[in-house]
Amino acid sequence: MALKEEIYYNSPIFIQNILTSMYGKKLMQERYGPGYEKKLQELRVKDRTVDYRIEQLERLNTFLLFIQEHTPYYRKLFQEHDIRLPFTSLDQLQTIPILEKETLRQQNEAFMSEVDAPVRGRTGGTSGKSLQVAFMREDVQERMAHLDYFKELHGFRSGMRRASFTGRTLTAINQKKPIFWRKNRPLNQLLLSIFHMKEENFPAYIEELNRFRPAALDGTPTAMLEIALYLLKHELRLDFPLVAIFPTSETVTPEMRRLLEEAFQAPVFDQYGSSEGAPIISECRERKLHLHHETGIIEPYGDGGEVVVTCFTTRGTPLVRYRIGDRMTLGQEACTCGLNGPVIESIDGRGTSYIVSEKRGKVFEGDITTIARELPNSVLRLQVEQHELNHVTLRYIPDEQRFVPKHEKILLREMQKLLGSSMKVTLEPVQQMKQEPNGKTLIVKQSMK
């Protein structure tokens, strides 16, 4: 354990709150400043009648010329493939080869631009290997402006109180008091640990939310859902109004959205990004997902709905046509909300969560969650764990008021339609889903060796 962590975890809670706020001050300096203010103002007054593709091409060329000059990997790649800039069409982006995650891992140093990129992050992939990425301060501030603009459109302004369900380890060693949260005062933020999501702890979480009275909730949606299910089960309500709920990092299924909105009496507005720095996608008032075209380009890849991303705000560790592992359905229709970026019809899977079926091949998380639609809102949550090629366990939390025995037959039928008749499906009703070591609750869990 690093010395800083050792000091933190062995400190009293009030000291931990001070240290959390000191870290919050550091984040404020990284995320907010002249670049943030300028970009946020631009977004507020932007003329959205102009064809977004004109700006997208301009930003793409600026980005590619920058990385050609400053990034060893792309300097060499562009020479080898005779990439001539600037492009005159967005279609020319396809002349640049696809970037695989393993290439980014193996040649991580070559992707580091020769610029001042002090903001560092780490992300882990399916192999478990850690991948370091770097961001220029200006890029971090631009991304933050886009995220805050998205929230502004739904009534939440920067500086208002928010409660964040986080996978960061917040609690002290051997802590006995049921205080599973810390305060980040510079950002007016209550950080709620997702590692203590047990029924006996939910009253303490709810009491603290009522005391803090945030305007919005954000963070891990599966953790928010645990609190939501407790509120619904006990016919409780928070004693203050929420403006909105902004989930991050996980797929939000229609059933999760319904339960969150019913329990917290506030609308859910989804968003998408990644720790590597993918282009930003956010949900508008019409409940349609829009690509923030100023932040990058998303292209379809292959036949399974997978996408590759090019992100303009990753100049520290540039990503061009990066195979991020996510699946989306790209839309063709326009939206009446006034935003003029491309519409994303759906985000069908984040990461590479899938079941392998002998008859169907890979069946992704987004497809598996659809089986609950055949039931009359009688299942609160689902989780599928694969043990062998032809054996999965389907865990589900039944709604005690609505679930009846025949619904098990429907679950079995829909699973076999999805995975094939040769797949053995074990049904397992549970009261609560088990958390992973990182505090998250998976929808799809792979245990195959």
Q: What is the mean pLDDT of residues 370-379?
A: 77
Say which range, 306-310, 332-336, 375-379, 431-435, has the weakest mean pLDDT. 375-379
Cβ proximity of 264 and 242 under 8 Å: yes
Can you list the domains of the chain with their CATH numbers?
Answer: 3-30+156-268 (3.40.50), 35-143+275-348 (3.40.50.12780), 354-446 (3.30.300.30)
72: left (phi over 0), alpha (psi -120 to 50) or beta: alpha
DSSP of 88-151, one letter per residue?
A: SSGGGGGGSPPBPHHHHHHTGGGGS-SS---EEEEEE-TT--EEEEEE-HHHHHHHHHHHHHHH
Q: How far is CA 238 from the centre of its chain?
A: 25
Q: What is the pLDDT of residue 367?
A: 67
Give the mean pLDDT of 28-57: 93
Is the pTM higher than 0.85? The answer reads no
The answer to whether the beta carbons of residues 164 and 192 sit under 8 Å apart is yes
List b or e across 370-393, with b for residues whose CB sees 16 or more CB atoms inside 10 angstroms: ebbeebeebbbbbbbbbeeebebb
What pLDDT, in 10s, does the model give residues 65-107?
999 999 999 999 999 999 999 999 999 999 999 999 889 888 9
pLDDT beyond 90 at 417: no
